[in-house]
Amino acid sequence: MDVYEFAKSLIRDAGDFIETRRLEGFEVMRKTGPHDLVTPVDKETEEFIYKRIKAQFPEHNIVGEETYGKDVKTLKGFTWIVDPIDGTVNFINQNDNFAISVGIYKDEEPYCGFVYDVANKVLYHSKVGEGAYRNSEKIKEVDYQPLDDTIVGVSHKWLLKDDVRQFFIELVDKARSVRNRGSAALDFTSVADGKYGAVVFYELFPWDYAGGRILTNELGLKCVTLTGEDVPELEASSVVCGHEKLVDEILEIFDHESFKEVHDKFFIK
Ligand code: IPD
Ligand code: CA
Ligand code: CA
């Protein structure tokens, strides 16, 4: 069976599963603190996706946020990187603005990417070399907009970090405006939709960006760390993604020795 077609149908079914479970009610648990929440629906959805993949493709590897694949260290064969619910706080508080994010790698190369806006039933998907789609509609190339004419999606974690705050303040000051949807995966779709020129995240995990990165890459967009390096596939990283010219403008803001030092201390293991 074709992996891309299988994934599209599985992700839509997983969205229906989340919707059914949401209506049944669920508990809310803290992971590391009051901002880091998880529900049984996050875990059950990962389980739902894992079992369906393994039933069809037993040899595929799965790296999920909640349970599976902590031992996966390479992308040999097929590897699925899955966030069963990206935007859990929105899922709990808003019943909207959350997504299923899936990136599939084949022999260490990106193969296809998906972000499913569950509440609105919009599946963003792409297979490398075959274009990017919003449901069945082909997504157009994204035009360059200079920083002072565009909206940038920015997650708020930088506010809590003294060493990097000044650089983000400069970004907020230079951009037309900034937004935070509360789901990194959906932030990537806002770039694909041309609503944001770029997204900038200080700290993301592979399951937060795998789907969005493969999707936006298909639109010719650039995705690198805030120090201009390649984003790793299986490690936490900073991420900036958008039109190449705009990403370069943003990278200039962060191009300081003091930022590089704190960034490297934080991310280089
Ligand atoms: C979070 C969301 C959020 C981002 C956080 C992520 P989760 O994922 O993507 O937008 O700012 O860094 O952890 O926990 O809802 O899957
Ligand atoms: Ca996430
Ligand atoms: Ca999640």
3-state secondary structure the chain: CCHHHHHHHHHHHHHHHHHHHHHHCCCCEEEEECCEEECHHHHHHHHHHHHHHHHHCCCCEEEECCCCCCCCCCCCCEEEEEEEEECHHHHHHCCCCCEEEEEEEECCEEEEEEEEECCCCEEEEEECCCCEEECCEECCCCCCCCHHHCEEEECHHHHHCHHHHHHHHHHHHHCCEEECCCCHHHHHHHHHCCCCCEEEEEEECHHHHHHHHHHHHCCCCEEECCCCCECCCCCCEEEEEECHHHHHHHHHHHCCHHHHHHHHHHHCC
Same domain, 87 and 207: no
The confidence score (pLDDT) of residue 221 equals 98
Whether 42 is in the pocket of ligand 1, judged by its Cβ within 6 Å, is no
107 assigned binding-site residue: no
pLDDT tens, 5-53? Answer: 999 999 999 999 999 999 999 999 998 888 888 999 999 999 999 999 9
C-alpha 2 – ligand 1 centre gap (Å): 30
194 backbone φψ class: left, alpha, beta (φ>0; ψ -120 to 50): left
**Does the model's pTM come out above 0.75?**
yes
Buried/exposed 228-240: b ≥16 CB within 10 Å, e otherwise: eeebebbeebbbb
Same domain, 97 and 204: no
Whether 249 is in the pocket of ligand 1, judged by its Cβ within 6 Å, is no
Same domain, 151 and 256: yes
Six token digits for residue 63:
């790296």
Same domain, 132 and 164: no
Same domain, 132 and 8: yes
Question: In Å, what is the CA distance from 134 to each residue of 15, 116, 117, 121, 150?
Answer: 16, 10, 10, 10, 22
Whether 83 is in the pocket of ligand 1, judged by its Cβ within 6 Å, is yes
C-alpha 233 – ligand 1 centre gap (Å): 17
Same domain, 8 and 103: yes
- Residues with CB under 5 Å of ion ligand 3 are 65, 83, 85
What is the rounded average pLDDT of the residues 94-113? 97
C-alpha 183 – ligand 2 centre gap (Å): 7
C-alpha 149 – ligand 3 centre gap (Å): 32
Same domain, 132 and 167: no
Cα–Cα dist 40/156, whole Å: 26
Domain holding 51, by residue range, is 3-138
Determine which residue's CA is closest to atom 16 belonging to ligand 1. Answer: 86
Mean pLDDT, all residues of the chain: 96
65 assigned binding-site residue: yes
Domain-terminating residue out of 100, 115, 138: 138
Domain-terminating residue out of 102, 117, 138: 138
The confidence score (pLDDT) of residue 269 equals 54
Whether 79 is in the pocket of ligand 1, judged by its Cβ within 6 Å, is no
| Ligand 1 atom nearest 37 alpha carbon | 14
The domain total for the chain is: 2
pLDDT tens, 132-177? Answer: 999 999 999 999 999 999 999 998 888 888 889 999 999 999 999 9
CATH code (residue 22): 3.30.540.10
CATH code (residue 200): 3.40.190.80
Whether 46 is in the pocket of ligand 1, judged by its Cβ within 6 Å, is no
Same domain, 9 and 125: yes
Position 268 confidence tier, pLDDT thresholds 50, 70, 90: low
Same domain, 35 and 126: yes
Whether 126 is in the pocket of ligand 1, judged by its Cβ within 6 Å, is no
| Ligand 1 atom nearest 156 alpha carbon | 11
Domain-terminating residue out of 121, 138, 155: 138
Same domain, 60 and 99: yes
Same domain, 105 and 192: no
Same domain, 15 and 70: yes
C-alpha 52 – ligand 2 centre gap (Å): 21
The confidence score (pLDDT) of residue 41 equals 97
